[in-house]
Amino acid sequence: MDTIVARKMRATLEPVHAMVYFAPEALDAWGRLFPYRSMGYFASRSAPMGAVGPSVVTAAFYNFAPAAVARAVPAVWEHADPATVLTARGAAADAALVRLLGEGVIGSPEMAWAATTAERAARACPVEGRPLFGGHADLPWPERPHLRLWHAVTLLREFRGDGHVASLLSAGLSGIEAVASYAATGDEFDAAFYRRSRGWGEEAWASAEEALVRRGWLADGALTEAGLAAREHIEATTDRLAMAPWFAIGEDDADRLRQTVRPWSRAIVAAGGLGF
């Protein structure tokens, strides 16, 4: 099986997980729990690891400015403990998926099959060296199929993400250099979005870009051939490290899972479930 399968699976499955960061159901929940809704992201994603401190979150999330993390963590745990946060997150995912996909999809045989297959894939992922995945892997599995699918996709996403961090570390990139080099690819969002959303100041961002210029990866704000090749090597390594679940279920079921979930992911994006 070609490792590009891992990248294709990520592209298709990601919206099923990522909608929880943008859905009004989740934002409303964070508004009830925290002084600032933005605290909900750090709380909900790190809660499976327990009431951890800012250094753990910075290490696991990798490309956020430490100062931005420290503004949210550990203060979030003064307002809600991890169990409360995870309950709110699950309820938000439930309500958002029902709204975005509709009861017909939620109760369909296709949803039941996709949930079972994605769970098989997620349970096949090894935990070593994967702290965010490991934290999520210890959570109980939901009973309803659409939430089992969401939980499985969340596990798969964090499994790939932990491997991506290992790939970035192997390439010798700091957190800010990692996100600055990705922003220079022009994929998804521009550099200004990534700088603001990860909490980096203009001076720190400029220093990171200068470091990339010295490496020969960046010129005139765009990736050079060397930079593009380096980023592709990082992504290819990430793909290779993310193959365990797809080897486990086999190419036929991986293809069927992608085909089954694709229209749901498109519906989530079309409905604004990813904030754009």
- Total domains in the chain come to 1
Helix axes 82-101, 145-170, angle to 10 degrees: 110
Q: Please check whether residue 113 lies inside any domain of the structure.
A: yes
Tell me how far apart the alpha carbons of residues 235 and 181 are, in angstroms, rounded to a whole number.
Answer: 12
Q: Please check whether residue 63 lies inside any domain of the structure.
A: yes
Q: Please check whether residue 118 lies inside any domain of the structure.
A: yes
Q: Can you list the alpha helix ranges (DSSP code H) found in the chain?
A: 4-18, 24-33, 39-46, 54-61, 66-72, 76-79, 82-101, 103-106, 109-123, 131-137, 145-170, 175-183, 191-197, 202-214, 225-241, 244-249, 251-270
Q: What angle do CA 172, 217, 223 make, to 5 degrees?
A: 130
Residues 6 or more apart in contact with residue 218 via CB below 8 angstroms: 181, 184, 209, 212, 224, 227
Ramachandran angles phi, psi of 189, nearest 5°: -130, 165
Q: Please check whether residue 176 lies inside any domain of the structure.
A: no
Per-residue pLDDT of the chain (276 residues; tens, 9 = 90+): 999 999 999 999 999 999 999 999 999 999 999 999 989 999 999 999 999 999 999 999 999 999 999 999 999 999 999 999 999 999 999 999 999 999 999 999 999 999 999 999 999 999 999 999 999 999 999 999 999 999 999 999 999 999 999 999 999 999 999 999 999 987 767 788 899 999 999 999 999 999 999 999 999 989 999 999 999 999 999 999 999 999 999 999 999 999 999 999 999 999 986 654
> What does the pLDDT read at residue 274?
63
Q: Which domain holds residue 55?
A: 4-169+236-270
Q: Please check whether residue 91 lies inside any domain of the structure.
A: yes
Q: Please check whether residue 247 lies inside any domain of the structure.
A: yes
Q: And the tokens for 114?
A: 């996709």
Distance of alpha carbon 58 from the chain centroid: 15
Tell me how far apart the alpha carbons of residues 3 and 25 are, in angstroms, rounded to a whole number.
Answer: 35
Q: Please check whether residue 193 lies inside any domain of the structure.
A: no
Tell me how far apart the alpha carbons of residues 248 and 125 are, in angstroms, rounded to a whole number.
Answer: 9
> What does the pLDDT read at residue 186?
78
Q: Is the pTM of this model over 0.85?
A: yes
Residues 6 or more apart in contact with residue 118 via CB below 8 angstroms: 13, 148, 149, 152, 153, 156, 257
> What does the pLDDT read at residue 273?
61
Under a CB-based contact definition with an 8 Å cutoff, are residues 130 and 156 in contact? Answer: no
